Amino acid sequence: MEIVETGIEGLDELFLGGILRGNMVLIDGPPGAGKTTFGLEFIYRGITQFDESGLVITCEQFPESIYRDALNFGWHLRALERAGKLRVVCTSPELLLDAQEGLVEEVAREIGARRIVVDSISHFRNVISEPLALRQAIYSFCNGLRRLGLTAFLIKERDTGDGRSHNFEEYVVDTVIYLHNRSGDNWRKQRKLEVVKSRGQEHIPGKHTFKISSSGIKIFTLKDPSRACPCAGESCRIPTGVAGLDEVTGGGFPPAISVGVYGSSGTGKTVLGLQFLVEGARKYGEKGLYLSLEETPAQLFATADSFGWDLHALHEEKKVQVLYSSMVETDIDEMIVELGKLVQSTGIQRLVIDSPAGLFCQLQDPVLIRERIYYLVRQLNNLGCTSLLLFPAMEESPVCSIAGSMMHGIILLKSSLSHNRRFRYLEVYKLRGVNHVTGNHLMEINTSGIRVFPRIGGW
């Protein structure tokens, strides 16, 4: 049972390494979902990365249009044809199904093909209308590809009928992948992928986000990390760098946990996040990352400058990276996957996300919100990253309360107006496994950052 790596980013991970050699993979989807792109990339990556010649059979597009579309991704199919690694054949479904002609066998043997994409087998229905005869024809066609030792991507157009009783192609093939391209909970179109059948091998279930970028397809597979999170009760502590806060928490945060910082506008959430990263880099040599979904890097650099922190220099030295991603344009699954890759590849130990509430609100469904927060938090913890997630006040959004139940710790930032003077307070509302000092503690934001004044028992 040889495994074939497709070369499509994220797809092999979805199948725990790749697909089985000789399998027939059905790609089913509506117009614009990316079916043809999946097929072409499967062939292109096979040639350029694994030295496996490929064959593209099309029943509807001329080769020139396929060459043109592939160039949008930087795939020079003409050059591969001249090198004898690829053949693009435009033919009719009648000729393709005619076993006496042996079209596929002749071309496959000519170039020593190992991979094939057929776009699309839906045209077979135009030739054979009788269901039983059509099933037999497709069954024979797939067996012919198997005898030639070809691993195939078979493109199929999504049926528009109400029932699925005649979609027998799904029973004949080894693997079935559904592509979805519809409006999600927000106004944007979202592409999703789901493996509904995988004969003879495991796969990661569920619907997974993917996008078509300038270099091809990227699938963002969310999976539950296997390694258990570090225990919050460990004696080791991560100093926060915030004066007085470590005293409240008994020396700092336990390692590799996620802490939700909640507060209304103006209570100091951004300052607390910046100070946590800046002091972590300057005093303890720990790499940090500030992921902003609202403020631009220039705005954050200016805020840090007002407290005497040269955040721009730390960013240039890659000690504290500052990244901005528009909340409107960011896909949640993509953010989770790419953030995990960045943390792992750069060795980031401290992370601040400001603010994930607006991003997760796009989902609307509480079950999906909880699931995505779980993946995000679990992944970061298992990578050894101590994270602060900045949220509005807990009562302002359902996302805030859902996230709070999944955080290892919760810090509440508050303020009150008394005798025309604004007072700020900090409360460690929750910190699992840590005997922290409870209650409200007076807090001030001065020219050097935040300072907390602990009181035994709080206020």
The reported pLDDT for the residue numbered 322 is: 97
Weakest-pLDDT range from 27-31, 252-256, 419-423, 437-441: 419-423
Return d(Cα 426, Cα 248) in angstroms, integer.
10
**CA terminus-to-terminus distance, the chain:** 67
Q: What is the mean pLDDT of residues 234-238?
A: 75
How does residue 457 score in pLDDT terms, banded at 50, 70 and 90? low
User: Alpha-carbon dihedral of residues 195, 201, 205, 209, nearest 10 degrees?
Assistant: -50
State yes or no: pLDDT of 459 exceeds 90: no
With a CB cutoff of 8 Å and minimum separation 6, the contacts of 100 are none
Q: What is the mean pLDDT of residues 386-411?
A: 90
State yes or no: pLDDT of 163 exceeds 50: no
State yes or no: pLDDT of 373 exceeds 60: yes
**Percent of the chain whose pLDDT exceeds 70:** 93
User: Alpha-carbon dihedral of residues 270, 272, 274, 277, nearest 10 degrees?
Assistant: -140
The reported pLDDT for the residue numbered 235 is: 63
Q: Which residue has the tokens 């509302």?
A: 429
How does residue 203 score in pLDDT terms, banded at 50, 70 and 90? very high
Domains parsed from the chain with CATH numbers: 3-220 (3.40.50.300), 245-453 (3.40.50.300)
- Mean of all residue pLDDT scores within the chain: 90
The reported pLDDT for the residue numbered 361 is: 83
The reported pLDDT for the residue numbered 73 is: 96
Q: What is the mean pLDDT of residues 150-162?
A: 83
Q: What is the mean pLDDT of residues 168-190?
A: 81
Q: List the one residue out of 372, 305, 298 whose CA is nearest residue 336.
A: 372
How does residue 387 score in pLDDT terms, banded at 50, 70 and 90? very high
> Which conformational region is residue 216 in: left (phi greater than 0), alpha (psi within -120 to 50 degrees), or beta?
left
The reported pLDDT for the residue numbered 422 is: 85
Weakest-pLDDT range from 185-199, 230-244, 349-363, 400-414: 230-244
With a CB cutoff of 8 Å and minimum separation 6, the contacts of 459 are 425, 439, 440, 441, 442
The reported pLDDT for the residue numbered 150 is: 97
Q: How many CA atoms lie within 13 A of 434 on its CB side?
A: 30
CA angle 5, 6, 11 (to 5 degrees): 100
Q: Give the full edge-to-edge strand order of the sheet including 86-90.
A: 86-90, 54-58, 115-119, 151-157, 24-29, 175-183, 189-198, 207-213, 216-220
The reported pLDDT for the residue numbered 183 is: 64
The reported pLDDT for the residue numbered 164 is: 46
How does residue 280 score in pLDDT terms, banded at 50, 70 and 90? very high
Q: What is the mean pLDDT of residues 114-125?
A: 93
Q: What is the mean pLDDT of residues 107-134?
A: 92
The reported pLDDT for the residue numbered 382 is: 92
Q: What is the mean pLDDT of residues 141-159?
A: 93
Q: What is the mean pLDDT of residues 122-142?
A: 89
Weakest-pLDDT range from 103-112, 139-148, 218-227, 274-283: 218-227
Q: What is the mean pLDDT of residues 101-111?
A: 91
Q: Are 212 and 72 in contact (CB under 8 A)?
A: no
The reported pLDDT for the residue numbered 228 is: 46
Return d(Cα 69, Cα 43) in angstroms, integer.
14
Q: What is the mean pLDDT of residues 81-101?
A: 89
Q: Are 2 and 146 in contact (CB under 8 A)?
A: no
How does residue 227 score in pLDDT terms, banded at 50, 70 and 90? low
The reported pLDDT for the residue numbered 186 is: 53
Q: Are 426 and 219 in contact (CB under 8 A)?
A: no
DSSP 175-239: EEEEEEEEE-SSSSEEEEEEEEEETTS----SEEEEEEETTEEEEE-----SSPPPPTT-S--B-
Q: What is the mean pLDDT of residues 105-123?
A: 94
**pTM, 2 dp:** 0.84
Return d(Cα 238, Cα 246) in angstroms, integer.
9
The reported pLDDT for the residue numbered 231 is: 46
How does residue 364 score in pLDDT terms, banded at 50, 70 and 90? confident
State yes or no: pLDDT of 328 exceeds 90: no
Return d(Cα 391, Cα 47) in angstroms, integer.
48
The reported pLDDT for the residue numbered 162 is: 45
How does residue 420 score in pLDDT terms, banded at 50, 70 and 90? confident
C-alpha of 326 from chain center: 16
Q: What is the pLDDT of residues 447-456, one digit of tens each?
A: 999 999 997 6
State yes or no: pLDDT of 309 exceeds 50: yes
How does residue 232 score in pLDDT terms, banded at 50, 70 and 90? very low
Q: Are 154 and 27 in contact (CB under 8 A)?
A: yes
**Percent of the chain whose pLDDT exceeds 90:** 69
Secondary structure element (H or E) that encloses residue 56, with its range: strand 54-58
Q: CA separation (Å) from 339 to 211, 252, 298?
A: 16, 24, 21
